[in-house]
Amino acid sequence: MTSETWIPHSQANHQQFIERAKAKGRFQTEDEIVNFLALALCGEAGELANILKKQWRGDSLDRTALIAELADIRIYLEHLASHLGVDLDEACRQKVEVVRKRLAASEAA
């Protein structure tokens, strides 16, 4: 499944989740949704860090769990960017260019 196909499915899932939360009295404002997504993103990053911490201390890497957490992070990040009106692909293109220029300048120095 390419990003062209998984993102609309993810957005539909997200919309369904929001509607269910609203029916329970949650997510009454856009700020509540954004705050939830930011916290969810941090939670998923913490879960990823915990998997890597366990590997670092000598446990075997649970690759399936690692992949699932990376996917969760990307999905929450996509939803957060969407709610904030950020074109994440464009933001990444711009940031990569800033870093490229910074690296080129440091090599020239």
CB 18 within 8 A of CB 33: yes
* Angstrom distance (rounded) from CA 46 to CA 97: 28
Over residues 45-62, the pLDDT tens digits come to: 999 999 999 999 999 999
Average pLDDT over residues 87-104: 96
44-51, Cβ contacts within 8 angstroms, sequence gap of 24 or more: 44/69, 44/72, 44/73, 44/76, 45/73, 47/72, 48/73
Asked if 48 contacts 40 with a C-beta cutoff of 8 angstroms, the reply is no
Spell out the residues 6+ positions from residue 36 whose beta carbon is closer than 8 angstroms to its own.
27
Residue 3's pLDDT band, with cuts at 50, 70 and 90, is low
Instruction: Encode pLDDT of 20-51 as tens digits.
Output: 999 999 999 999 999 999 999 999 999 999 99
Per-domain residue ranges of the chain: 3-108
Q: 3-108 maps to which CATH number?
A: 1.10.287.1080
| Amino acid 59: pLDDT | 97
Distance of CA 14 to the CA centre of its chain: 13
CA distance 75 to 6: 10
| For residue 66, pLDDT beyond 90 | yes
Predicted TM-score (pTM) of the model is 0.88
